[in-house]
């Protein structure tokens, strides 16, 4: 199928979803106020006014309505049985996730219950629609090997639940989770266009349209929050698209989906390390996340969000470059180099902003020591 036709379908889906989100968000805001789904400020939160949440319902509705309107008109050549399973898995599992998030936005559900429902939604995708990791590639080798279900199924469920919660954790500033998710979805859209994956182009474009429409009301100063209904749904959708949108996952190409959602995953990773270092429970909330630290360094609300957008875009660009390199047969070495550079930059960045500890800077101190010794040697000569 011509790529131009696929892009045209994606553009139409984007426009329709954006229009629906723009129209529905004010109605969702009124509904949230009516049912009492309000976000009350506390010592951990940045906002100072009571705000309606549940805005994720507008994104979900825009995505679902648009996909259901387009599906009957899509040619069979565009949708394989895998594509149909992927779409239905996202719709059915996404509905469960959105209902969970909406209930939590209103009633503040127990964390264990939320976790169990998230696992159930992931199981719908895996067992109901046979979407799972099933291929593996040994690094610096070319042979694809089937992965046993006893490994692939738990790994798939772990990925879906983990990414779903990672997006939820960064939802701390106006427009932050929506914007970072939008950048990740845009990255997937570019990669899908390069690879000619029609179903992924449509799904990504429609989801991006819903996000952009909602961001009109959610960017600082926000008029409505997306709440768990939005952050959990976006995380669930990202988990499916980033991991399974390209038919197969390999150990080498597994780096690509990690890069696509590098900001929420790295923030979650550093949060776990920070709590272990400070001898606090792993799931205990704190004000040490990336957006908190940037604001503590003096950046405004809007500048903090834009800086994190830039970081997310950098991760996305690396994912696209790595995907292209893999297609060209250079994936192994390029992957190795990209991983090494990113780990170094992440560690330096974490030490500069103090996301783990404000006083411990081992790598920066080591580099500073090397520089001072070099200067001393130069003077002695």
What is the tally of structural domains in the chain? 1
Torsion of CA 103, 122, 282, 269, to 10 degrees: -120
- Of the candidates 268, 191, 194, 189, which has an alpha carbon nearest to the alpha carbon of residue 231? 268
Distance (Å, whole) CA 380 – CA 305: 47
Distance (Å, whole) CA 329 – CA 332: 8
List, in sequence order, every residue forming a beta bridge with 93; answer none if it has no partner.
Answer: none
What pLDDT, on a 0 to 100 scale, did the predictor assign at position 248? 40
Q: Does 357 count as an annotated binding residue?
A: no
- Of the candidates 236, 182, 202, 233, which has an alpha carbon nearest to the alpha carbon of residue 69? 202
What pLDDT, on a 0 to 100 scale, did the predictor assign at position 245? 44
The tens-digit pLDDT sequence of the chain (381 residues) is 567 777 888 999 999 999 999 999 999 999 999 999 998 876 566 656 889 999 999 999 999 999 999 988 888 777 788 888 889 999 999 999 999 999 999 999 998 999 999 999 999 999 999 888 776 554 444 545 566 777 889 989 998 999 999 898 888 889 999 999 999 999 989 888 887 788 889 999 999 999 999 999 999 889 999 999 999 999 999 999 887 544 444 444 456 777 878 888 888 888 888 888 888 887 677 777 888 888 888 899 899 999 999 999 999 888 888 777 766 666 567 777 877 888 888 889 888 888 887 777 888 888 888 888 888 787 776
Give the DSSP H/E element, type plus range, for residue 145: strand 144-146
Structural domain including 138 reads 3-380
List, in sequence order, every residue forming a beta bridge with 137; answer none if it has no partner.
Answer: 144
In this prediction the pTM is: 0.88
- Of the candidates 198, 172, 200, which has an alpha carbon nearest to the alpha carbon of residue 186? 200
Q: Are 53 and 105 in contact (CB under 8 A)?
A: yes
What pLDDT, on a 0 to 100 scale, did the predictor assign at position 246? 44
DSSP result, 257-324: HHHHTHHHHHHHHHHHHHHHHTT--TT---S-SHHHHHHHTT--HHHHHHHHHHHHHHHHHHHHHHHH
Q: Is residue 103 exposed (0-12), middle (13-18) or buried (19+ Cβ within 10 Å)?
A: middle
- Of the candidates 109, 110, 105, 114, which has an alpha carbon nearest to the alpha carbon of residue 36? 105
Q: Does 228 count as an annotated binding residue?
A: yes
**What is the SS3 assignment for 173-210?**
CCCHHHHHHHHHHHHHHHHHHHHCCHHHHHHHHHHHHH
Reduce the DSSP state of residue 53 to 3 states and report it.
coil
Q: Are 87 and 199 in contact (CB under 8 A)?
A: yes
Q: Among positive and negative, which fits the CA dihedral 263, 166, 337, 331?
A: negative
């Amino acid at each position: 199928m011509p790529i131009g036709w696929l892009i045209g379908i994606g553009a139409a889906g984007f426009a329709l979803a954006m229009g629906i989100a723009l129209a529905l968000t004010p109605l969702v805001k009124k509904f949230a106020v009516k049912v009492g789904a309000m976000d009350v400020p506390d010592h951990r939160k940045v906002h100072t006014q009571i705000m309606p949440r549940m805005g994720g319902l507008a994104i979900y509705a825009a995505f679902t309505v648009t996909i259901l309107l387009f599906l009957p008109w899509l040619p069979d050549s565009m949708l394989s049985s895998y594509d149909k399973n992927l779409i239905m898995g996202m719709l059915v599992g996404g509905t469960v996730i959105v209902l969970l998030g909406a209930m939590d936005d209103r009633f503040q559900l127990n964390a264990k219950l939320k976790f169990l429902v998230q696992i159930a939604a992931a199981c719908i995708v895996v067992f109901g629609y046979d979407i799972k990791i099933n291929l593996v590639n040994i690094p610096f080798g070319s042979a694809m090997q089937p992965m046993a279900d006893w490994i692939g199924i738990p790994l798939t469920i772990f990925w879906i639940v983990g990414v779903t919660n990672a997006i939820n954790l960064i939802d701390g500033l106006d427009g932050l989770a929506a914007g970072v998710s939008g950048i990740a979805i845009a990255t997937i859209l570019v990669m899908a266009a390069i690879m000619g994956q029609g179903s992924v182009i449509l799904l990504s474009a429609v989801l991006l349209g819903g996000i952009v429409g909602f961001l009109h009301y959610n960017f600082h100063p926000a008029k409505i929050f997306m709440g768990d209904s939005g952050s959990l749904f976006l995380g669930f959708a990202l988990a499916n698209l980033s991991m399974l949108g390209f038919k197969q996952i390999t150990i080498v190409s597994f780096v690509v989906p990690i890069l696509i959602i590098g900001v929420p995953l790295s923030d979650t990773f550093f949060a776990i390390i920070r709590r272990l270092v400070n001898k606090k429970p792993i799931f205990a909330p704190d004000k040490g996340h990336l957006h908190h630290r940037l604001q503590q360094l003096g950046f405004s609300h809007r500048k903090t969000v834009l800086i994190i957008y830039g970081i997310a875009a950098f991760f996305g660009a690396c994912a696209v470059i790595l995907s292209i390199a893999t297609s060209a047969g250079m994936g192994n070495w390029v992957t190795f180099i990209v991983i090494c550079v990113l780990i170094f930059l992440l560690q330096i960045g974490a030490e500069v902003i103090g996301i783990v500890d404000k006083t411990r800077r081992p790598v920066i101190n080591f580099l500073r020591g090397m520089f001072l010794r070099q200067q001393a040697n130069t003077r002695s000569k």
